[in-house]
Amino acid sequence: MIKNSYAVIMAGGAGTRFWPLSRQEKPKQFLDILGVGKSLLQLTYERFVQIIPKENIYVVTSQKYDLLTKEQLPDLTDDQILLEPFKKNTAPCIAYACAKINSINNEAVIIVSPSDHRILNDDEFSETIKRGIENADDHKLITIGISPTRPETGYGYIQYADTDTDLKRVKTFTEKPNKELAEKFIESGDYLWNAGIFIWKSTAILSAIEEYLPEVHEAFMEMKDLFFTNEEQEGILKVYMQCKNISIDYAIMEKSIYVVVLMGNFIWLDLGHWDAVHDLMAKGEDKNLIQANALLYNVKNSVIMGDKEKLIVLDGLNGYVVADCGNVLLICKKDNEAQMRNFVSDVKKEHGDKFL
């Protein structure tokens, strides 16, 4: 275990790109997406508990997922579960966690990670995290990049300046390019996938928040005496009402001169949508991922999920998702990630939260 090291796991997302398997009452981070008997959140926690003292691991999630988090991670105390009153994107979430940790240890080095990624090669992951911790100082904002293996349009990209050191200066960030641009990124050789994992000293990120989000910094500093008290939740409600809805990437990482990227030598996948799970998991001869009682005719390269008590019969599909989950049946193209958000938005307009 590394002294003064902490981990913050972000677990408040709604997982709309995985609808209808992922629902508002139990989004994807709390589901056993991979069929291994553990949720994505549990897998993320177990990955960190190998290198970070368990008392130094914090989870930031929505108030409505408090009980789910406690059920799945019973080793966490109430103080280690940070409850957001409403969503304000990743900048307030990270500011909250880092300010709270800094209030008890101003030498803290903090790893911030999403809860819904699949990481293989745990030893390589641990070594990358340790290298990041060793290089953290009062200025650097370290982000982890992954060498791309395909022109993925669902990921963000980091362009870096080539140097002989582990840490490379970041030149540009690009969010989810089209396929033509993603292909150019791969050809150039100086782009990495943005894994959304950060390493920094609490003092470094708080200084950056003070510079680029001064009103957020001031709000959290004003309530620092409420951390680890019964008044914390009431204080956080007031602070969140003052915070912008903004991502840490847009607010700080794309602006700060202290941002550097550390290349991760592990296999990383963002399980953000159906296509990603299809790519990851074992499939049959026709490249179908089947978690259902199904009879298939001329079906290829598809995902079929459903209750084993119901028989699904399909003919003539190629590259589709068929998800029969509870009170919703979804049939759509597997690789149309952007359209999934439209489905969820339209369902909400027409039916409220009944089917979400």
Separation between Cα atoms, residue 37 and residue 266, nearest integer Å:
23
The answer on pLDDT for 188 being more than 90 is no
In whole angstroms, how far apart are CA 125 and each of 17, 47, 58, 101? 26, 9, 19, 23
Q: What pLDDT score does 3 carry?
A: 77
Confidence class for position 140, pLDDT limits 50, 70, 90: very high
Average pLDDT (47-63) is 96
Contacts of 218 (CB under 8 A, 6+ apart): none
Range with lowest mean pLDDT among 14-23, 58-67, 188-197 = 14-23
Backbone phi, then psi, for 195, in 5-degree steps? -80, -10
Average pLDDT (68-95) is 96
- Beta strand 157-160 with 268-270: parallel, antiparallel or unpaired? unpaired
pTM, two decimals, is 0.92
Q: What is the mean pLDDT of the chain?
A: 92
In whole angstroms, how far apart are CA 191 and each of 158, 162, 182, 186, 198? 5, 10, 9, 7, 17
Please choose, from the candidates 67, 88, 53, 349, the residue with its C-alpha nearest in 3D space to the C-alpha of residue 238.
88
Q: In what order do the strands lie in the sheet with 289-291?
A: 289-291, 303-306, 320-325, 328-333
Q: Cβ(17)–Cβ(341) under 8 Å?
A: yes
Most distant pair of Cα atoms in the chain: their distance: 64
Percent residues over pLDDT 90 in the chain: 72
Q: Cβ(65)–Cβ(11) under 8 Å?
A: yes
Q: What is the pLDDT of residues 243-281, one digit of tens each?
A: 999 999 999 999 999 999 999 988 888 877 788 788 778
Q: What is the pLDDT of residues 318-330, one digit of tens each?
A: 999 999 999 999 9
In whole angstroms, how far apart are CA 169 and each of 74, 126, 132, 151, 187? 40, 22, 14, 22, 20
Contacts of 119 (CB under 8 A, 6+ apart): 47, 125, 266, 267, 268, 269
The answer on pLDDT for 77 being more than 70 is yes
Domains and CATH numbers, the chain: 5-270 (3.90.550.10), 277-351 (no CATH)
- Beta strand 191-201 with 109-114: parallel, antiparallel or unpaired? antiparallel
Separation between Cα atoms, residue 277 and residue 116, nearest integer Å:
11
Q: What pLDDT score does 1 carry?
A: 66
- For the chain, how many residues are written? 356
Confidence class for position 72, pLDDT limits 50, 70, 90: very high
Q: What pLDDT score does 217 carry?
A: 96
For 100-120, give one letter per residue: b (16+ CB within 10 A) or e. Answer: bbbbeeeebbbbbbbbbbbbe
Separation between Cα atoms, residue 324 and residue 310, nearest integer Å:
9
